[in-house]
């Protein structure tokens, strides 16, 4: 059996909440699959990535599968990476029994089962003990021995006797990602701007009675299609009352739209991944005489699944002016001009060779349909580089002429946070000095608020209970067998810094009942004050250190009423090539 897509996180489109899939849940599913005869698991994805340029599919985030075992920047996301690494190391170490052994199974109780792979003639045996109950830990008897199996977990027994791995017991370190604004990139934060030309009907060459379908006009060479029309109003057409404004109403099957009336920006609207189409409804200021309505329709990638892939359609389906004194004005058959792509795209003003084709002036904030540019130096070190675009809304990013990707900060989740605010710039895109950064902002933004940052996972943590059943970590391979060096059931935790870095600071240390997550631990009522001093002695200045998980080492009161006998530690690594 082959498992072709084991999702390592919940697939995300713009507007979706972050929905992480835990290392424990992935490991449980994988071992259940292997225990029942599965032979290959393909992780989707194991390494996150970036949809550079216009490569992202419909409404898909530019940062793709950032919660994978290796994140968008290629850094290990712990404990997901380490927990799955240990799982596959165990399976690989006992591959002969697993691949060629005779498979049998036993029911050990309600929700409990054992799957055994055995080669009796070679005295090889590998077994999987599963507890498939939710919220119910338990103990089972297997081949005369008692084994504790937490709820919704699988234990691997080497030699069908010794627990060497349990999916719910995470003994590897955790890591917390942090972002650092580089001093060198903050210098000379001077921006210039060039407004995108808003075409009128007379400026277009493709003219029809009704608006044309968008994809056939853009040919997947651009996200953008301008629609423009003009109409004349008499004084009797306009509302007599000053408190009544006409409303421009557009039904669209594209992904997003901006509207302009007589060169003034009137607003924007968007659809979403689930529901095809949306309504644009914005009040507009009209005048006696000729009025110009211009709509910039955009798509956020091609459709990636479902029916009608060969006949994807988008664009304006209905356009009305509501609220006129003489009633509703239907513009759908008014005569429309079309222009594919932005003028800045056509002239490639995002590159050095195209900069001189337009006029640039000092930047102003909150200008719709505007190009912005500045230069910056590469941050020191080799940590990944990102742009924090929180001060902007929607558009495209270019660095030294390379398309970094679409950004859409104004598309908020239900929690009110941007779907994605930080965007990856690969170091190969950069020079040491004078990197050209060009932004096309569709809606409104403050370019001087854009931050060039570096990313680290220098905060690493342990969170292990003394009550966890011990794992045998002191084993090695001997041919096709797992050779037990010692049946050491003591609990230990290892902290290891990224390459070329050492532990510089112990941020948090507590034994007892600490709470929280890596980067946000708090002490409990059974806290041991000297835990931090003990960890500092064992770890400071070292690239890696091993800590015992034993209350006697930290002088903890094991009889404290609320204790979970848990060691919680957060350390910070540094001293490598990290930028300023």
Q: CATH code at 206?
A: 2.60.120.260
Do residues 48 and 72 share a domain? Answer: yes
Asked if residue 258 lies in contact with residue 296, where contact means CB atoms within 8 angstroms, the answer is yes
Task: List, in sequence order, every residue forming a beta bridge with 445; answer none if it has no partner.
Answer: none
Distances in whole angstroms, Cα of residue 426 to Cα of each of 75, 353, 384, 536: 13, 22, 7, 36
| Residue 35 is assigned to a structural domain of this protein | yes
Is 126 within a domain? yes
Instruction: Judge whether 566 lies within some domain.
Output: no
Strand ranges of the sheet holding 402-408, from the earlier edge strand across to the other edge: 361-362, 192-195, 370-376, 435-441, 394-399, 402-408
20 and 162 belong to one structural domain: yes
Per-residue model confidence (pLDDT) at position 80: 96
pLDDT on residue 575: 85
- Judgement on whether residues 21 and 123 belong to the same structural domain of the protein: yes
Cα separation, 421 vs 392, whole angstroms? 9
Position 241 scores a pLDDT of: 84
Does position 500 have pLDDT exceeding 60, yes or no?
A: yes
Residue 489 has pLDDT above 60, yes or no: no
Does residue 549 form part of some domain? no
Two structure tokens written together for 67? 């919660």
CA 574/CA 580 separation, integer angstroms = 12
Count the Cβ atoms, other than its own, within 10 Å of residue 161: 15
* Residues belonging to the chain: 580
Looking at the structure of the chain, the number of domains it has is 3
0.85 exceeded by pTM: yes
Q: Is the CB of residue 226 less than 8 Å from the CB of residue 294?
A: yes
Residue 576 pLDDT exceeds 70 = no
408-455: pLDDT as tens digits: 999 999 999 999 999 999 999 999 999 999 999 999 999 999 999 999
pLDDT for the residue numbered 152: 97
Looking at residue 479, its pLDDT comes to: 56
| 449 Cβ contact list (under 8 Å, min separation 6) | 390, 391, 392
Q: Are residue 357 and residue 272 in the same domain, yes or no? A: no
Q: Are residues 30 and 163 in the same domain?
A: yes
pLDDT over 80 (residue 473): no
Q: What is the pLDDT of residues 332-349, one digit of tens each?
A: 999 999 999 999 999 999
pLDDT of 379 over the 60 cut: yes
Residues 316, 212, single domain; the answer is yes
Task: Look at strands 2-7 and 40-44 and give their pairing.
Answer: parallel
Task: Give the burial string for 276-309 (b: 16+ CB within 10 Å, else e).
Answer: bebebebebebeeeebbbbbbbbbbbebeeeeee
> Same domain for 189 and 150?
no
Nearest residue to 248 via CA among 240, 257, 214: 257
pLDDT at 383: 94
**Same structural domain, 13 and 135:** yes
pLDDT above 60 (res 580) = no
Average pLDDT over residues 125-146: 95
Query: Which residue has 């002239």 as its token pair?
Result: 347
Q: Which domain holds residue 313?
A: 201-341
Residue 476 confidence class, pLDDT cut points 50, 70, 90: low
* 106 & 163 share domain: yes
Helix H or strand E encompassing 277? none
Highest mean pLDDT among 182-186, 208-212, 298-302: 208-212
């Amino acid at each position: 059996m082959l498992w072709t897509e084991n999702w390592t996180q919940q697939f995300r489109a713009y507007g979706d909440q972050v929905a992480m899939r835990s290392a424990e849940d992935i490991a449980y599913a994988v071992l259940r699959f292997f225990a029942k005869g599965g032979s290959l698991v393909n992780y989707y994805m194991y390494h996150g990535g970036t949809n550079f340029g216009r490569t992202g599919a419909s409404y898909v985030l530019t940062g793709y599968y950032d919660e994978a075992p290796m994140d968008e920047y290629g850094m290990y996301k712990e404990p997901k990476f380490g927990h799955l690494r240990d799982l596959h190391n165990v399976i690989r170490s006992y591959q002969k029994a697993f691949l060629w052994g005779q498979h049998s199974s036993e029911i050990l109780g309600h929700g409990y089962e054992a799957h055994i792979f055995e080669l009796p003639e070679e005295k090889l045996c590998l077994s999987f003990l599963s507890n498939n109950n939710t919220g119910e830990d338990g103990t089972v008897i297997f081949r005369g021995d008692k084994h504790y199996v937490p709820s919704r977990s699988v234990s691997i027994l080497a030699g069908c006797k010794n627990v060497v791995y349990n999916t719910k017991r995470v003994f590897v370190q955790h890591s917390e990602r942090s972002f650092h604004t580089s001093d060198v990139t903050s210098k000379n934060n001077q921006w210039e701007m060039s407004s995108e030309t808003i075409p009128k009907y007379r400026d277009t060459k493709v003219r029809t009675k009704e608006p044309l379908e968008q994809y056939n006009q853009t040919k997947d060479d651009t996200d953008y299609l301008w629609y423009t029309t003009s109409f004349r109003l008499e004084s009797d057409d306009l509302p007599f009352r000053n408190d009544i404004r006409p409303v421009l109403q557009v039904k669209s099957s594209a992904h997003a739209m901006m509207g302009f009336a007589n060169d003034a920006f009137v607003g924007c609207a968007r659809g979403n991944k689930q529901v095809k189409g949306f309504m644009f409804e914005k009040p507009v200021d009209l005048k006696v005489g000729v009025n110009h309505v211009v709509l910039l329709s955009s798509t956020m990638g091609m459709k990636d699944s479902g029916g009608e892939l060969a006949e994807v359609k988008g664009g304006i389906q209905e356009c009305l002016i509501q609220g006129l004194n003489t009633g509703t004005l239907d513009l759908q058959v008014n005569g429309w001009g079309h222009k594919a792509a932005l003028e800045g795209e056509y002239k490639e003003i995002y590159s050095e060779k195209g900069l001189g084709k337009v006029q640039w002036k000092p930047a102003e904030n909150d200008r719709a349909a505007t190009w912005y540019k500045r230069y910056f130096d590469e941050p020191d070190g080799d940590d990944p580089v990102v742009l924090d675009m929180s001060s902007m809304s929607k558009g495209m990013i270019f660095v030294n002429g390379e398309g970094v990707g679409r950004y859409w900060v104004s598309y908020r989740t239900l929690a009110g946070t941007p779907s994605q605010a930080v965007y990856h710039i690969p170091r190969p895109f950069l020079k040491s000095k004078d990197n050209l950064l060009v932004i096309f902002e569709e809606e409104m933004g403050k370019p001087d608020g854009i931050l060039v940052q570096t990313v680290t996972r220098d905060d690493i943590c342990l969170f292990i209970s003394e009550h966890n059943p011990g794992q045998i970590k002191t084993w090695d391979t001997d041919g096709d067998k797992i050779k037990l060096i010692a049946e050491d059931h003591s609990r230990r935790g290892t902290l290891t810094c990224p390459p070329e870095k050492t532990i510089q600071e112990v941020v948090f240390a507590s034994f007892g009942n600490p709470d929280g997550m890596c980067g946000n631990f708090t002490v409990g009522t059974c806290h041991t004050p000297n835990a931090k001093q003990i960890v500092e002695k064992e770890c400071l200045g070292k690239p890696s250190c091993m800590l015992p998980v034993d209350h006697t080492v930290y002088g903890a009161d094991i009889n404290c009423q609320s204790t979970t006998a848990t060691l919680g530690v957060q350390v910070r690594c540094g001293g490598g090539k990290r930028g300023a």
